[in-house]
A and B are shown apart, each in its own frame.
Chain A
Amino acid sequence: NAGVTQTPKFQVLKTGQSMTLQCAQDMNHEYMSWYRQDPGMGLRLIHYSVGAGITDQGEVPNGYNVSRSTTEDFPLRLLSAAPSQTSVYFCASSLTSGGYLEQFFGPGTRLTVL
């Protein structure tokens, strides 16, 4: 199993550009989520999904869109990048959405918006 994979590893955007961060897992996990990690702020939940076709907002959803058409994939879209979105983005997955099981994290995407 590859676990949770994320692409790209690094990305530089200009303000106003759009892009999609890819996330995939091969563990047949029901629950997937996106976090951003900023210095001094800890990890914050952006969006999450409890299964294919079902998504919901987390703590900091503004400026981001998600969709989940398959169990394996959970892409995060930045519609119009802003410097405030400069961060490290982590995708995570868990077998179920019940809250008792650990989440497995991907290696992260480091995004810089100029």
Chain B
Amino acid sequence: EDQVTQSPEALRLQEGESSSLNCSYTVSGLRGLFWYRQDPGKGPEFLFTLYSAGEEKEKERLKATLTKKESFLHITAPKPEDSATYLCAGSLIQGAQKLVFGQGTRLTINP
């Protein structure tokens, strides 16, 4: 069964304290691994797409990496404005594109 699992469910950090969020997946025929950010009451906002093992992408304090079984979202020296829920999704093709989402990691950065 195609599945995406994120850990931890929630993470609380102090401002400046770096950490990583994990996304493990069992998606056959993975086309892409997507990371989204979701603020309360808003729709998910696209961050990164990773296509192959070993690939890395960066944006400000965020860096996403991909292996054959999991992806990590590294957050370096976070600020309170980085507080959000981070969603991971695997894209597979069953006739057409389908996204399989993890449950998300709720990140809180305390000043």
Interface residues of A (CB under 8 A from B): 4, 31, 33, 35, 40-45, 48, 50, 56, 58-59, 90, 92, 94, 97-108
Contacts and interface: CB of A to CB of B under 8 A. Distances in A.
- Interface of chain B, main secondary structure: strand
Contacts, number: 71
A40 B98 contact: no
A56 B87 contact: no
B32 A105 contact: no
B46 A43 contact: no
Interface residues of B, number: 27
A33 B36 CA distance: 16
A105 B43 contact: yes
B44 A90 contact: yes
Contacts of B45: 105
Contacts of B98: 45, 48, 58-59, 99
A56 B96 contact: yes
Given A48-B98, A98-B31, 7 more contacts: A33-B99, A43-B89, A98-B97, A100-B32, A105-B44, A107-B43, A108-B43
A45 B103 CA distance: 14
Contacts of A92: 43
A89 B91 CA distance: 20
